[in-house]
Structure 1
């Protein structure tokens, strides 16, 4: 009897154990299948984005951002100039490239990225050091200026610049300019667009302001520019800065401000993400995202 009872207990134990294993395997199988399905959907989504050209991918993601993001409301706006309002960066690159070519050196995108937004002096120091040029800072600036003076008087506006400045002015939004360019170059570059640039409350040309000890990417110039409004913003985050360069973007962010970046198309995605918001062109900007008045519907903004 004892033997039979023992065998019966062992049999029952095996049945229960096997049933549990079957149920467990079924549950694991279900979980595994669900995971496979989710991974497949995720890969399909990534594949879809990869099939789009890079500019369309950014547009697609930006459209999603516009629907889900609402940035802090701003009251004041500051613009960079070169490469943002005026199409001058290509001229800069050509002129610097011509000087470096004289000494058997090449001015590539990586070097350009390092000096974009930097002051004239800082940029010259970086290039002389990196390329081992047999020039002093003053000599390099002088040689570059000889090329630039011939071309800067013909600068064109960047797409969307005129529309945005006029709209903000009509809506009584205080605006200013903060540039690493010298005053005399500012006057030369804006010669054909003086009426538009008069819409700005004031400008800060960093080399002509000795009280600004450090240029971009340090925050000094944007803090100084923001403080010169007749009625400054209550908090730095209420100031919206438009920039095209990495150095300028870092400068404004370190000043506690929000930044819309409109970078060179060669700028990689990782650096673009440092800004509060990134666009391909000022034409794409939606003022209402930052609590500013929207463009009139008749302007074709939508």
Structure 2
């Protein structure tokens, strides 16, 4: 169950199924992780493992908005999932939205569960008085009496449906291990077989030369594939890679991988493109299209599906 090489010559070898090297817990939460993204920019490609909550923070000044994405512990106010609305100062408006699901800050309002309790003010008279409200909202403890007026309620715009990303597999080639969402189960992990032309190290694979590659074969239950994440880095800034799924190019001459820093990169998939497909071949090549110097190091591969939940009775 390993890649092998001898006397500096890389061999094409096969990894068997992952056997008992399976995780028993859901894989750790991932969030988009980019700072100060101007409006209209491409999707943030970087992710971070998160022990807190995913957030989207927008700052609008004189009609121009920049947005930051990341993970953090919720602040002292004990608010529900949703949006904390900042105070308006001159022409500046700040908002921060939180969520607790896998990559939910990519499109946060589609990944929020519908509220289970109504959002109300406990003291209608005080909360409607501007002077009293300003004093109440300045205190996290007092703001609980005016949750609606202080902007501490969940902002929910998802209607009767909401989405959730589930991990089909989170695969580590060396040493071989595979985690999965408990809602999915271990069968996809059990189906994985891999081989490649690479140099293995203690915890990662080195795609070190032109046409180095890793090939992952796996079988699903027909779930739509929506997110592919690679935990990787490059050694010089020019370790370009091509990502191919069932002969369809996902990324070509990709060069957004960070240099000498391990980083999760997100590649969005078209779920319609492989509809009703069960058997897959995922290939990651170095320099297949654009030859460049430098190495590409690969540590983990995570594949996800997106499920849509419906409100009961709808």
Q: TM-score, with normalisation over the residues of structure 1?
A: 0.24
User: Which one has the bigger strand percentage?
Assistant: 2
Q: Which has the higher helix share?
A: 1
TM-score (normalizing by structure 2): 0.23
